[in-house]
Amino acid sequence: AQSVAQPEDQVKVAEGNPLTVKCTYSVSGNPYLFWYVQYPNRGLQFLLKYITGDNLVKGSYGFEAEFNKSQTSFHLKKPSALVSDSALYFCAVRAPRSNDYKLSFGAGTTVTVRA
Amino acid sequence: DARVTQTPRHKVTEMGQEVTMRCQPILGHNTVFWYRQTMMQGLELLAYFRNRAPLDDSGMPKDRFSAEMPDATLATLKIQPSEPRDSAVYFCASGLVIGGTDTQYFGPGTRLTVL
């Protein structure tokens, strides 16, 4: 079975400060990992993904995430947060089985960036 | 800018009525997913298709829910009869499998309220 844990329901930071949203995963084999963001009353938007290669993945809107196999983590980071980054963030994982494209999503982390 | 479209965006209906939600995946995408989002359960996968064939509908209450892809440009999710507990936001997502994986792109969702 595959699963994702987002240990923090909420993260609050001041604008201009670094932002980190935590994610740990459980899956058989090497994982495919994703981050999505959801703004109020909108669908989820893809931010970035890790499939293979460099452990540091860069994505949209200045976000990046680091894959750490030994810690089974894939934390999302942004060096300098903006008020407009306030949203709900989801981490997702799937196992690299050829005929199974299901993603398992975490419960989500609400990010609030205060001005 | 290719997008997943969903109709209707909002639906209010009475218990016992049939509800049909429609999704137009991004042209050329070969995987389509239906999700349900609620405050209590978070994001749940209901069903998904690859090349229009249903691959997994284990997340769907089979007695009242059905999902189909009559053609490559249309996916439908039906609830008959609807119940108040079906009130949720239903998202469709589509993806294109490349190199054994895909990235899912979400539509804006259908907000369903069953009275």
CA dihedral (B96, A44, A32, A76) positive or negative: positive
pLDDT digits (tens, 9 = 90+) for B18-42: 999 999 999 999 899 999 999 888 9
Residue among B4, B102, B106 minimizing CB distance to A101:
B102
Q: How far apart are CA B1 and CA B52, in angstroms?
A: 23
pLDDT digits (tens, 9 = 90+) for B88-109: 999 999 998 777 677 899 999 9
Confidence band, pLDDT 50/70/90 cuts, at residue A98 = low
Specify the pLDDT at position B97: 79
pLDDT digits (tens, 9 = 90+) for A58-67: 999 999 999 9
Per-residue pLDDT for B1 more than 80?
no
Give the CA radius of gyration of chain A: 14
Closest CA to A6 of A101, A96, A100, A93: A93
Specify the pLDDT at position A100: 76
Q: At A39, list the tokens.
A: 């703004």
Question: Nearest-CA residue of chain B relative to A42?
Answer: B108
Residue among A32, A43, A51 minimizing CB distance to B108:
A43
Residue among A46, A98, A101 minimizing CB distance to B31:
A101
Residue B5 contacts A, CB cutoff 8 Å: no
Strands of B8-95, DSSP E: 10-13, 19-24, 31-38, 42-50, 53-56, 65-71, 74-79, 88-95
Question: Nearest-CA residue of chain A relative to B47?
Answer: A102
Q: How far apart are CA A3 and CA B73, in angstroms?
A: 31
Instruction: Estimate to the nearest angstrom the gap between the alpha carbon of B53 and the chain centroid.
Output: 14
Per-residue pLDDT for A16 more than 70?
yes
Specify the pLDDT at position B93: 96
What is the average pLDDT across A3-18?
A: 96
pLDDT digits (tens, 9 = 90+) for B53-93: 988 888 898 899 999 999 999 999 999 999 999 999 999 99
Cβ contact B101–A51 (<8 Å): yes
